[in-house]
Amino acid sequence: MRTQVVIIGAGPSGLLLSELLARSGIDAVVVEQRSRQYVEARIRAGVLEQGAVDLLREAGVAARLDREALVHDGVELVFDGDAHRIDLKALTGRSVTVYGQTEITRDLGDARVARGGATYYEAADVTLYGIEGLQPRVSFVHEGRQVEISCDVVAGCDGFHGVSRRSIPASAIRTYEKVYPFGWLGILADVPPVSDELIYVNDPAGFALCSMRSRTRSRYYVQCPLTDRPEDWSDERFWAALRARLPAHHADRLVTGPSIEKSIAPLRSFVAEPLRYGRLCLVGDAAHIVPPTGAKGLNLAASDVRILHETLAEFFGAAGGDSLDGYSDRALKRIWQATRFSWWFTMQLHDITDDPFARKLQLAELRNLVASPAASRLFAEGYVGL
């Protein structure tokens, strides 16, 4: 089989890239290790910057988003027991949109099916060959049959643990990583959100986040040790911990209920560079991971997709050449800015009681953020993705 682009991974970044390429007349085949049901069931973030929303509209997959998504003009920061609203819209002219990644992946998957694009779910033993040359190949086993696809470019959209980054020789890639000494215990529950906007909490007992997926489904988090397991936390224990970290006026409004999903996520910052090796281009979590603080992961992936789509449109329009060269440098500028913001925001909100000096600096930084219009604007620009 022959195509122009093989996309490894059918998550939101891979499927979004496939839609944009199709609209540019570029053939692509999508190869995914898991089933479509598994991919769409993964619980992930759902706060979208305007640039990501615009890209979904450009791809023609935003009809349901435009009907159902929640637009937020601000966020709330809680520390010293007080709540402070940051008016994103007033400070930057932009808002953020809440629409779950699960829903985005479903919309993109439906669009892929409607288009009739070739997609191989449950592909086993995915292997990349010849990526350093001009004719890369991707082989895999699908429904008991060996399949090999030759192409011009491979887009590695298969996440942190995928085969794409592992296929690059160690001598040709450099990685940067920070692992944080705490995790997030998150639950999903069919209860109305405690607030119309996200609430980020710095409390002596630890970080908390009140988020939502809709007006009837909430996503809540509390900081926990990495040694904890989800089964260590009953629903009752979780709700008590969250309520204790909220100001009284929010705690009184908190509606509790049985969790429908519960998990613990470790936090890390990770960047691999360059994002290109030969004819392989890394996209999204295959190239970078950020802590979920500030919701940059999916937005960074969308930024990668936009840049790679523009690069590939130029590459195929110019009949090849060196026009893939600019992808990595362009994408990395945005990646490092978002990595800095996510690291900084994470360090301001989480319990670091083993370092009393750092704890005092945290509170000084947060007080400065809400007191200084310049500091508030800088935070808002980072949060909305300017």
Comparing CA positions, the residue from 129, 210, 195, 118 lying closest to residue 163 is: 129
Same domain, residue pair 36 and 117 = yes
Query: In the annotation, is 292 catalytic?
Result: yes
Query: In the annotation, is 274 catalytic?
Result: no
Same domain, residue pair 138 and 168 = yes
Q: What is the pLDDT of residues 225-267, one digit of tens each?
A: 999 999 999 999 999 999 999 999 999 999 999 999 999 999 9
Give residues with Cβ within 8 angstroms of 145, minimum separation 6: none
Query: In the annotation, is 200 catalytic?
Result: yes
- Please state the domain count of the chain: 2
Domain assignment present for 81: no
Q: What CATH number is given to the structural domain containing 200? A: 3.30.9.10
Q: How far, in Å, CA of 84 to CA of 368, rounded?
A: 12
Give the chain's end-to-end CA distance (angstroms, integer): 42
What's at 160, amino acid-wise?
F
Domain assignment present for 317: yes
Q: Is 360 helix (H, G, I), strand (E, B) or coil?
A: helix
User: Which residue range forms the structural domain that includes residue 17?
Assistant: 5-69+100-177+268-345
pLDDT for the residue 266: 95
Same domain, residue pair 255 and 207 = yes
pLDDT for the residue 355: 83
**Which residues, in sequence order, are bridge partners of residue 187?**
220, 262
pLDDT of 337 higher than 90: yes
Same domain, residue pair 254 and 376 = yes
Looking at per-residue pLDDT, the higher value among 240 and 320 belongs to 240
Confidence of residue 43 (pLDDT cuts 50, 70, 90): confident
Query: CB of 291 within 8 A of CB of 297?
Result: no
Confidence of residue 354 (pLDDT cuts 50, 70, 90): confident
| Given 72, 84, 142, 262, the catalytic residue | 72
Same domain, residue pair 157 and 290 = yes
Give residues with Cβ within 8 angstroms of 297, minimum separation 6: 44, 45, 284, 285, 289, 290
| Given 296, 309, 327, 350, the catalytic residue | 296
Same domain, residue pair 240 and 288 = no
Q: How far, in Å, CA of 284 to CA of 214, rounded?
A: 25
Same domain, residue pair 130 and 255 = no
What is the model's pTM?
0.95
Q: What is the pLDDT of residues 50-87, one digit of tens each?
A: 999 999 999 999 999 999 999 999 999 999 989 999 99
Same domain, residue pair 257 and 298 = no
**Which residues, in sequence order, are bridge partners of residue 218?**
189, 212
Query: In the annotation, is 72 catalytic?
Result: yes
Same domain, residue pair 290 and 258 = no
Same domain, residue pair 187 and 173 = no
Query: In the annotation, is 120 catalytic?
Result: no
| Given 292, 309, 327, 350, the catalytic residue | 292
Same domain, residue pair 145 and 205 = no
| Given 99, 120, 200, 327, the catalytic residue | 200
Domain assignment present for 378: yes
pLDDT of 330 higher than 80: yes
Domain assignment present for 75: no
Same domain, residue pair 313 and 186 = no
Q: What is the pLDDT of residues 147-175, one digit of tens each?
A: 999 999 999 999 999 999 999 999 999 99
For residue 30, the number of C-alpha atoms closer than 13 Å in the C-beta half-sphere is 30
pLDDT of 13 higher than 80: yes
